[in-house]
Amino acid sequence: MPEVPDLESIRKFFNRSISGQTVQRVDTLIPVVIRVPRDEFVRLVTGDTLGEVHRHGKFLLFSLASGRILVVNPMLTGRFSLVPPEAKKQPRTCFVLALSGGLELRYADQRVMGRVYLVTPETLDTVPQMADSGPDVLSPELTEAVFRQRIRRFSGQIKSILVNHRFVAGIGNAYSDEILWEARIHPYQKRTQLSDADIGRLYKATRDVLAWAEPIVAGKMAESLDYSEWREHLRVHRRGGQPCPRCGSTISEITAGQRITSFCRTCQPLAAGQEIRTSLSRL
């Protein structure tokens, strides 16, 4: 799943490469991902001009000269490409925008889980998960005081809170592991058992980890969008069985449902008396 470092890098790439270009043709190949009538989508987007691309959480928002906003939630497997018209289409390419600069902006989605909306600023809140979304995780408005205030509204395990868009928007499975490792907090620690110092470290780790990761990911797509989710720099996520880069202990992994959680039991001890409740654990 693309997370903030991936999507922020894509946003910056688009603002360098396609801003100001006009959509000359729209092809809808798998229209199920488009949450407006197909003919209306083609009619309204064709001839419009792309403006600045914004991001909120895991949504990319393409401003159009008409005032409309093309909103894309890529979910787990949505991927963009910017290629010449003769380039072979990826499997499950959902739509294509032929641009005035001569390239095509394509969106492919292996699981066809992503969603595409065409809205106005007044109807942006009709996009699912937008109206009830917390502040973007990189927003300057998310100060430590706001972070502390918001986290008190939630109970349960801290990792589940971090990935909840109602708390803050943009943190996913991979970077929640990295943030919690940096903060030395067990992913299954209950929020009510966190001290003020724990929450302070968690806020700092959230800012530090994402600020560290984004330029690394951006460097991998400086010239093109030919990328897979870049994860080689991550220190604990999906590193089960490897030594912790901080203390040398073996990194543990727990699988609950379809979510893999990676952490160091030494650096991130669970509070005494608390049990881990999951469907399957290993390491």
Rounded to 5°, the CA angle 135-139-143 comes to 85
Q: How far is CA 187 from CA 35, 57, 109, 231, in A?
A: 35, 21, 30, 19
The answer to whether 58 is a known catalytic residue is yes
Alpha helices (H) in 116-268, listed in sequence order: 144-151, 158-162, 173-183, 196-220
Out of 12, 184, 259, 265, which one is annotated catalytic? 259
Among residues 3, 8, 182, 253, the one annotated as catalytic is 3
2 is catalytic: yes
Beta strands of 207-258 (E only): which ranges?
251-256
Active site residue 152: no
Catalytic site includes residue 178: no
Single out the catalytic residue among 2, 5, 74, 135. Answer: 2
CB neighbourhood size of 222 (10 A): 10
Own/partner contacts of 119-127, CB < 8 Å, gap of 24 or more, are 119/68, 119/69, 119/71, 120/67, 120/68, 120/69, 121/67, 121/69, 124/69, 124/71, 127/59, 127/71, 127/73
Which entry of 55, 58, 191, 201 is annotated as an active-site residue? 58
Ordered alpha helix ranges (H), 152-254: 158-162, 173-183, 196-220
* Residue numbers annotated as active site: 2-3, 58, 259
